[in-house]
Every structure is written in structure tokens, then in C-alpha cells.
Structure 1
Amino acid sequence: MEQLTQVWIHVNKFTGPIPNLSRCNNLVDLQLRDNTLTGAIPASLISLPKLANVSLQNNVFLGPMPVFKPSVQVSLGNTNHFCNPVPGPCDPQVTVLLDVAGAVGCPMTLAESWSGNNPCKGWNYITCDAKGSVTVINFAKQNWVGTISPAVANLTGLKSLVMNDNNLTGPIPVGLASLVELQLVDVSNNNISGKIPKFRSDVIVKTSGNPFMGKDLPPSAPLGRSSPSSSGGGSDNSPSAAKHEHKSSFSTWVVVAIVIAAVALLLVLFLVIYKYKSNPTSKLSRGKEQKLKNGSPKNVNGYGAIPSTASQSSAANSEIYVYDGGNVTIPVELLREATNNFNEENILGRGGFGIVYKGKLHHGTEIAVKRMEASIASNKGLNEFKAEIEVLTKVKHRHLVALHGFCVNGYERLLVYEYMPQGTLGQHLFDHDQLGFLPLTWKQRITIALDVARGVEYLHGLAQQSFIHRDLKPSNVLLDDDMRAKVSDFGLVKNAPDGKYSVETRLAGTFGYLAPEYASTGRVTTKIDVFAFGVILMEILTGRKALDDNLPEDRSHLVAWFRKVAVNKENIVGVLDPTLDPDEETYQSICKVAELAGHCAAREPSQRPDMGHAVNVLAPLVEQWTPTANTGDDSFNIDFNMSLPQALQRWKANDDSMLSEDTYTSSSTTSKSITAIRKVSETEKNTLSYTKENQ
């Protein structure tokens, strides 16, 4: 123990209080973050002579806020329940109750509600009188393990101590007998030992169900779990701690033994990883693999991507970022509850940012929570986190995935999105057999393509600022229950340059979707998104991935192969996804999309159209698949997804058709220009008047 210098046991779901660390005199680095540890911070930790770095965030520690030496780098986070927001002693009653809680291991159900410096305000298991004195402690039927802390005798207003049906050991504290207000002591059905103190005759004492009651157990007998520290958080020398220190040593060393075993295992893993990282060949191969993402990755439920290199974040990165806009900060506790404490069963996908979980809020709203853990909280990851929030606070569009809020908590960064239940376009194109999806129909495919085009068109020129996505691909196109698409993953988005272009020194994106000028020179314009959209159209047409190493080399690169094969309409049928069986009308639509795909993926950016042109090409193709039967009051058969010019043309056609049916107005119909909506009511009025006159 004395030679121990580094302990990393973070993100392990460990529970209970920190054991006595007074013998770890050489400990330098202690990582306890992201567990469910409780209890007060022991003085034995605070006073370690060589301690330089300690992380305690994302736990539920109680007691006073600890004060470490100025040389110690401390990360506390904001989930702990210290009695005061600044260093200082707790209320005397709080100090006693924390000692009582420590004697039973400070269970999470207790720690979660014991927040603040007033036990009479919402503390579970505690009852107070009108004067603010604790009168009842009720730990009945909790199945807790430990002892009864002698500190309980310091609650002078205590009337009832109810601790029946647990697994408590040790004696009943003698000091209880001196409490003048005491009326009830119920310790039945435990493993209490020793003699019963001499209580007043009017005090009800229930001790049945304790087989060792009245017997003094030998010192080697197990005495249960007791407080590893005083509840004062800055001292282990309280009177109550001294009285039961010998009882706590057994359980403390059990915990310490477990910690030592865990540390030994971590040291072995560290040596293996160090050996692996020190191999130059491995470094070189990893470096090549991680320069860029490669191909269209398979992911789960629409929230996957390529994993990034893990790196340990420092505490210096724990500052909270605040952004303007409509998004809100969301408490981490709410997200833990919504995701069942980030349960693995709720994982939707893993990506370069971290892990995405499905969650459900109290009112039933389903959400997707993207969680960047500390192990990947590199500068690159933090930059993507900030970029995604900054972009999504400025853009709102029906075909861009909506950001509900975010959370910054210690090392963790979390983004909360709307949940898209049908996964990604990539899953439906490439993995539909494995996932049990029906193949996409042509109508669904061109509707999805139009949705993506409209979303990107908005990014390029219709939002408050002009943005470039830089990572368009099928795995970043999410689908809702109606198979309507929304573009996601805005971590690589950048502002469009004011001039002709800007030059990036570090490429970002995914192989197979990178425009040639971007991959070779780093030149960035909105046309690199147009190129990627062209590749997506080719994937929609062929059902093939942008890069597929399983195919022969001359066919593995989709864009190059598509350019050679789909040179005319006759050849297009040979490149189509086999699940498509188009009739003649559908085939004409397919040919137009293939032509658009070729233009969008042209080698020269000057030969590529803008996204507005793509919308204009795709919109009429989607429109022809819209049901023509009118329902309700929709007398003009208008699709409100149309552009304004298309809607005006449809209004004109409907207006002309209606007027031509009436002999009174048919002669004037051919001379009319496009009719405004308000003209229709006038026409109906004329028609009605003519009908009445001829009855």
C-alpha cells in the first residue's frame, strides 16, 4: 500500500464510501470519477502528502466540501451533495446524520436525497419537529449492512430510532439511554450483539430476532460495515469515529483489498497497453488508419460512426460552455434516469464522439443522448462538441435533426437529440436483410433524397449563416417513422468562406465522399457537400456503398465505376439495385436521378450544380408520386412540400380547370394569367350566381 502511486478506478459503478487511505503516503494520482461513490471525503485522503491529482466528479459524495492543498489538482463536478456550496463545516445535526449513514455504508438511496445543510428539508428517512430538531430516524426494512453509530446519541431531540429488519451488527450504543426525549428503539430482526443499555422504563425497546443479543462477540467476529470516515469530511477524529474505529477496520480492509486487486489488474493492463503503444509498427499502422474515416460504416439504429483514438482528458477541460440560442442545459441526473444510468441495453451506436443512447423522459418523449466520455475527450472531440451546439442553435429546419439540449458535467459532454426510430439511410440501403427491413421503394428513395437536398440547401444559403456540412453520407441521414429524412452529425460543420474558397490543413470527412479538390488540396466550398450528395444518389440508385473492398478493384470505388458504366440511359438498368423492379414511368424518373448524380459528383467543382438545382430536379419526381385523390377541404390538390413556383402553377392549373367547366366563364379562361388565391373565391361567387339565374 505504501508504494502505491496511481489508482485509476473510474467508470466502474463502484458504490459506498472511500476507505481509509492514511497508509497510501506515496499516492500521487487518484481517479474515482464516474462511479456511484457516497459518504464524506475522508481526511485521510485530503492529507495525503504526495497527492497531486484527484478526480471525484460524477459521484454522490456528502459532507463538507473538501479543501485540498493548493498543489493538488481537484475535479469535483456538480453531482456531489456537499452540505455547503463552499468549504466550511456542516450543521451539527447533518454531521451526526452523516456519521449514522456512514455506519451503514451510506447507501445510494439515502445519499441521493441527503442534499444541503438542513436535514428537515426533503431528507428521506428523517422526520423533524417544528423547531427543526431531528425526532425520527427510520431505516426500517432496508436490508442495509453495518452498525449503529454511537454518534446518534448526539441528536438530543431524537424520539424514535427505527432500524428493524436490516443486517446490522455490533451493540446498541450506550449513549442512547441518556436521551431524555427518546420513546422508541426498534432494532428487531438484525444481528445486534452485546448487552442492552439501561433505558428508562417508559422507553419501548424492541430487540427480538437478534440471536446474539446479550452476548459479547469476540473481536474477530464480523461486526458489519461502519463509517470509514467522520461525517465532518475534513476530520477523522470525531468522538464517534474514535469509539467505533476498531469495528470499522475489518470492513475497511476488505474494501482496501478489493481496491488493491483492482489496481493490480489495471497495472497489468497498463503494461500491456504500454508495450503495444511502444511498438513503432503498430503506431504507424494506427496513424494511417485514423487520418480519415474509411467508407460507410455499419452502425446500430442510426447513431453510429467510426471510433476515434482514446485519450485521457485533463481536469483543465472541465469548464462549462454556455451558448446562445434556444437550446437548454439539461441536468445529468435527468439523462441518467432517462437512459437507465446509461445502460448498455439502451446503446444505439458508437462513434467518434462517443456512445449514443436511447432515452425516455417522464412524459414519454423518446430522445437520443450522445455521450462523450472522458476517455475520448480530446481537443478534437471538444471542438466537435462545441461546433455541433453552435451550429444547431443557429439552424432550425424540418430536415435537420433537432437538438433538444446539452449537458456539461465534469469530464462528460452530452448532446440530446430527437429520436429517429427508423435508423439510417445506410442501414436501409446496405443492411436491410440483416436488420429485417423491407427494401426501400423508389418512392421512398427519391423522397429521402429530396429531404436531404432541402436540408443541405438550407445549410448552404437559407439559414442565418452559410454552413458546409463536410461529412454527408448515408449513416448521417436519419429516418423517422414516416421514412422522412433528417441530416445529422454537425461536429465537422464549418462556416462557408466569404470568398471563393478556404483551405483546410487537416482533412475531415469520410473516404468515398470526399470531393477531389478537397482531398488533394484541402479546398473547401459548398460544392464538396454537393459532391457527397451525388455519391449518396449513386448509392440510392445502386444499393452499393461508396467504397466496398469486397468487390474487384475496378468496381470497388462507386463513383469511378458509375461514371464508366452509366454513360447512357440504356446502361443504367444494369447498375440499379436488384431490389428495384421499375416500370417504364419509374425508369424515366430513375434516369433523371442518375443524370443528377453524375452532375453532382463531377470532377470539377465548377461543373457541379448548387443544392437548389438538386431540389428543383427532385421535387417534380416526388410530386408525381403524390396521391391525386382529394380529401377534406383540399380542393386545390396542393402538396405543401412544393416550392412556391410549383404551388402557383398547380393553383393556376386547378383554377383554369374549374373555370373551363362553367360555360359562363370558359371564354375568358384562356386569357387569364396566374391567378392569386383570393381570385378563386371571386370565381366561385360568379359561378354560384350564374347557377341560380339559370335554375
Structure 2
Amino acid sequence: MGQGHPALLLSLSLLLLSSATADDGSAILKLAKSITPLPSDWSTKSPTGFCSWRGIKCDSSNTRVTSISLSKLSLSGTLPPEISTLSELQSLTFQDNQLSGAIPSLANLTKLQTILLNTNNFTSISPGFLQGLTSLQTLSVGDNVNLSPWQLTADLAQCASLTTLTANECNLFGSIPDVFESLPSLQNLRLSYNNFTGALPPSFANSGIQNLWLNNQQNGLTGSIEVIGSMTQLAQVWLHKNEFTGPIPDLTGCKSIFDLQLRDNQLSGIVPASLVSLPKLVNVSLSNNKFQGPVPQFPPSVTKVDNNVGNNKYCAPPGVSCDAQVMAMLEIAGGFGYPSILSDGWDDNNACGWAFVTCDADKKNVVTVNLAKQHFPGRISPSFAKLPSLKNLYLNDNNLTGSIPDSLTKLPELVTFDVSNNNLSGKIPNFPATVKFITKPGNPFLGTEVETGGGTTTSSDVGPTKISGGMIAGIIAAAVIFIAVLSFVLYKYKKRPRKYEKKVERDSGKAFFNNGITGGGGYNKVSIELNSQSSVDDSGKNIFEEGNVSLPIEVIRQATDNFHEINITGRGGFGVVYKGELHDGTEIAVKRMESTVMGTKGMGEFQAEIAVLTKVRHRHLVALLGFCINGNERLLVYEYMPQGTLGTAFI
């Protein structure tokens, strides 16, 4: 194509320039007509010269608006939606006015860095308000008490450059979105005086937040405050007037905290020494909770302490030690996460007057602790060993995990110890023959090691596993025997008639496992179809043949009567086990887990079980027949063991 005529090119350039000018000028003119009183040098008739109007800044071409700043002018009126057309806008500040109506959508203004709309009378926020604001650094919409209830959505994650979010007292409700891993620059989060509910988002962990204001929610945030222990950049923490429960976490890593407000919650447990010793702490409030143990004593550098007893359950005044049995019992409660049923009743300096505790005739020594059937989570504390007169300990029918502390075997008076119907694991301590030690039913993994995320351990009471030369030789010998047996089984398997002749049509969803195991079965960086399957026909080949162990969810549901509770045969650390029967009479055991509950730890176990059990056959391991991933569910299908539950097959 030949070179264009110079005059034509000039005309096109002028046309484009005038179009861009007209666009920004039109939006500014709409703004001028929407607000009152009008700044003295503004016009509602013509946008000519708008770049020189008060509060308006433009780029070097004097055609595109980069900043609108009209704060503290007692303006009323509305903000027109045409503001969203100012594609070069970097700053929009209208704070401390009387503007009303909707806050217009500012979506996809990719150069916008500052939005200050706080302290106005806005009544609504347009949908998608925050979408695509990739350069946004400061957002302030707080003190807009007339806003209709609205939610802070996951769109916030798109504001990856955000450093300050202020949205206090503006009718926010719902949960705080769990998007903070996408906001690495966020330092100030101020969401006080709203109606947020639910727990603190896990993505707070390891964030760079320094100022965290979540106080005075209308109905109260709930759950643990454990996550703040990993927020090492925190300086000011306002969590007061909510419904948080559980203990104060270890704050050793939070060395910059100077202001910690925890009053008026339902927090319990012993105030940790890591709080008392925070090097920069100046202001702290703990009143009106359910704290236990001794009253904390802060150093003189902490100039303001609000620690009125209120609802707190301190067992001794400042400077006075609590009774040794009382402290032991509180440490025991700590193993369960300081449940409220214990913090409510364990409130003086004599354990012999507490619920679930029986003492001797002199009311001096604890002889029985009965915490059965309380549905407590957590672990068994080794502090039970600090009760030398303990004779009976009932912890059955809870949700306890981890190992049984070996120190409990040293209790000289112990007669009965019941831990049945829990999810304990690790080695089984060797109690004296005089102790009635009850572990069954339940505890399918007791006596085995379970994965904890960073390796394979039993508990803190069990030292690192050492593999001796004899063990290595035994493993090699077992491997040789296994290969021989496996060859024989495969030979027999190929000759036997097929029982299950249904073909499965699978959805397109796929998952990838990389567990370091090479060879067949498709488990070494090999794509395997895993998602829920919905249709079955009567043609095709055996579903279990040729290493194809991805099972359709419909087959599993049919086999277990849609996971009917009557088919439950046990409960493990990561799910429920169901008995089932395929249409050809094959009995199966189905271990059902949810990935949202399991987290990384549970998914590790799921992958490990598939990787190992699809390749190994041993008298101590049931055979894995298949697996299925259906949404958040993870299911493992084993052969059914008529001699006992799936859990007992692992012992």
C-alpha cells in the first residue's frame, strides 16, 4: 500500500484528538451537572478548558483527565456513571462531602491508583465496582452509613497493588473474602463497625498486614484467632467486640505489635507468655473474655492495660501462682483447644470443685477425670501425668487425634484408661498389666504412623524412625517375596473369568499425580481421568482391569445406598468408611473424604494411599480397587474385610 496523503493523515489525527477530548470533556460536564454547589470556575454549559478547573488535573496533552480532587467542599448530588470512561484517571477523591446515590462502577480503569469516597451519604455500590483495578493502591469507602447492605467480593483479588483498604461503618455483611494471598502489598485493613460474620480468612497467614481493624461487628466474627500468630508484620490489632473463641495463639513472631485489643470476646485459656513479652507492646485489652490461669503481669513498658476480670476465669491474683493441679488441668484443656464447656466451669483455684473431675475423700487430689462423649477435638495432653493420684481417665467418644503420650504409663495409681471411639494414631504405649486400657472400637490408625504433611510421624511423643541394617534386609526380602507372589497372582488373574462387565463413560475432568513412582498405573506425571462420572452402559470391559482404577461416582453411590448411614463401618482421621456391594455381588469398603476438610495434609494421604496400595499387596494392607474424585469429595474403594472394619485392616 502506498504512503497516505499528508493532509489526510493530519485530518485523521485531529479527529482522533478531538474525539478523545470530547470523551473526557463530556464526562466532566456530566459531573458538573451532578454536583452542587458548583466550584466557582466550573461550567455546566461547556467543558472548554476543563483541565484548568479547580480540582482537575490532566496529562501533558491537556486532553485526558488524570485526577479529580474535590474533598471537604460540602458537595451534594451524585457521581455520574460517565466517570468510568476516564481511562487515564489515576486519582478520584471526594471524601468528606454529602454525596448520595450510587457509587458508580470504576471497573477496568487500569491506571486508577487512589479512590477516596469515605464520609459521604452514598446509598449503593454498583456491581463489579472493583473489577480490573490492577493499579489501585488506596481504597476508602468508610463512614457511608446509608449504604445498602453489600458484600466485599472476590473481585478484591484483582486489586493486586492494594496497600490500604478502609471500609469501616459502611454496611458490609457476609464473610471476609479469602483472597489475601493475592494482595501481597496490603498493609492496612480497616473493616470495623460492619456486620461481617464467620471466621478469619486463612489467607491472612503470612500476609503483610500491619494494621488490622475488625472490631465491633454487629453480630460478631467467630472462630479462632490462631491465624494472627503467623501475621508477623502486625503492629495494631483491633479484634474487640466480636465472638472469637479459643486461646490467644503464640505471638512470638509478632514482634511489632504495639496495640492489641481483644476485649469483649469469648476467648479462653491461659494468656501466653509470648503476649506478655512482646517487645513493643504499649496498649492491651483482655477484659470480658473467659481467660484462665494466673492474671498476666505486664512490664512497665505496657502503659495501658485493660484487664478487668469481667467474665475472665483467672485462678489467682497477680503475682500469686495457681494450684499445681489447676494448672495441669488447664494445660489438659489446652490440648482440646480450651472448649467453652471447660472454660465456663473451671474458674477457681481448686480443681476438686470442677465439672468432670472427682477427687479423693479429702478433696485434695484428683482421682478421676471423665471427659467422655464431649466431642472434643485436639490431642491428649501429656499433662495428665502431672496428676499423680489419677486412677480413672475417660476420654472415649471424642474426636481426638495424634498419639497417646508415653508419659501416662508412669501414672502410679492409674487403673482405667479409656480412649475408644477416637481417631488416635501412633505407637501404643506399654501400660502396666494392672491398667485396664481400652482402645476399641475406633482408633483405626492406632499402632500405625500417619502422614502429618512434612513427613511420616506418629506424634510428638514418638522419636524419629530409625531404619537399621536388619530392617533394610527385611524390606529387601519382603520385596522379593512380594514380586514372586504378585507374579503368581497376575498369572491367575489373567485366567479367571470376568465378573464385572460394565463400561464407564467418564467426564473430561483430569488430575495429575506426581508421587515419584514410575511404571504402570499412570501415576507418574500421567493424566488420569478422575472427575465424577455420570453414565454407565452394559457393554465394554471389566472396570478393574488393565490398571484402570478410576471409578464412576454413580457406581459407588449405588453400591453404598447413596452413602446411607446404616452402611457406615468406621471413621478415620480423614473421613468415613462405608460398606458397599456392587451389582455383581462384590463387597467393597469406601473411604469418603472431603478436600475442603482435608487440606494439604489430607490430599497428601489420598495420593499416598493410591500410590502405595495400587502396587502393594500384604496381609496388613487391604487391596485398593479404585478411586474417584467428585467435586470436593475424594473416595478410595478397597476390598471389604469381613473379619473387621477397614480401619482394623491397618493394624
Q: Which has the higher helix share?
A: 1
Structure with greater proportional strand content:
2
Give the TM-score, by structure 2 length.
0.34
Q: Give TM-score scaled by structure 1 length.
A: 0.32
Structure with higher Rg: it is: 1
Q: Does 1 or 2 have the higher relative contact order (CA < 8 Å, sep 6+)?
A: 1
